[in-house]
Amino acid sequence: KQEVTQIPAALSVPEGENLVLNCSFTDSAIYNLQWFRQDPGKGLTSLLLIQSSQREQTSGRLNASLDKSSGRSTLYIAASQPGDSATYLCATWAGAGSYQLTFGKGTKLSVIP
Amino acid sequence: EPEVTQTPSHQVTQMGQEVILRCVPISNHLYFYWYRQILGQKVEFLVSFYNNEISEKSEIFDDQFSVERPDGSNFTLKIRSTKLEDSAMYFCASSQNNEQFFGPGTRLTVL
C-alpha cells in the first residue's frame, strides 16, 4: 500500500527566501505525481503535475522534480511571498487501473513579511 | 477558467439522517471522484466514477455511501445514515488527462 510522507510538517521562512518542500513515497511504481496548494478551510488547487516519464515541471516561481527510483519529489518555490502561505500537498497516482490519488499530510508554509 | 463547484458549502445534520452532497464537475471531464478530509488528517480517496459506474472504491466507501450522476452535469454523494465519524470535508474532483481538479469542498458536520 502506497504511503506518502511530507517533511517538514511546518515551515516558516522570511519573505524573499527560496525554499524546498519534500515528498517521499514508498512504492516507486507510480504513474504521476501532483502537487496541490490548500488554503485554510478551502479546496485543493492543482499546482503541478509530473508524469512518470518526466523528471520536472515548472510553473512560474514553482519547480517540481520527481525521482521515482528514490521515491522522492521536491517542490521548489523561488523568491517566496506572503501570499504563498498555505499547506502544500503532494499526491501520487498509481495508474494501471487505479484511479485514486494517495496524499501526504502536507507541509504548512508560512512566509513572514 | 472552468472549475469544479460543490453545494452546499456547509451541511449540518443529525446522526442517522441522510445527506446528499452535490458537485458539478468540469464539463468536458469524464472521470469523477469523491475524497474526504477529516480535520487534521490526510485527504482520503472514497470513490471514482467513469462511464456511469463506479470504477474504484476504498474501504471507507461502504454500503452507507452511494454515488450517482443523475443528469449530464451533476455528480452526487449520498450518505444514507450519517454517523458522528462522517464529519469531515468532502471534496469532489474531476479529470480528463490524468490531472485531477478539486472543488472547494462541503463541510459536513454530524451532531
Q: Cis link prior to B8 (omega < 30° from 0)?
A: yes
Which three-class secondary structure state does DSSP give residue A39?
Answer: coil
**What's the pLDDT at B26?**
95
Q: Specify whether the backbone of A47 is left (phi greater than 0), alpha (psi in -120 to 50) or beta.
A: alpha
**What's the pLDDT at A96?**
76
Chain-chain contact of B48 with A89 (C-beta, under 8 angstroms): no
**What's the pLDDT at A65?**
96
Chain-chain contact of B43 with A31 (C-beta, under 8 angstroms): no
Q: Is the pLDDT of residue A71 over 90?
A: yes
CA B74 to CA B52: how far, in whole Å? 12
Chain-chain contact of B35 with A42 (C-beta, under 8 angstroms): no
Q: Is the pLDDT of residue B73 over 90?
A: no
Q: Is the pLDDT of residue A87 over 90?
A: yes
In angstroms, what CA-CA distances link A98 with A30, A47, A102, B31, B98? 10, 22, 11, 12, 11
Q: Is the pLDDT of residue A31 over 90?
A: no
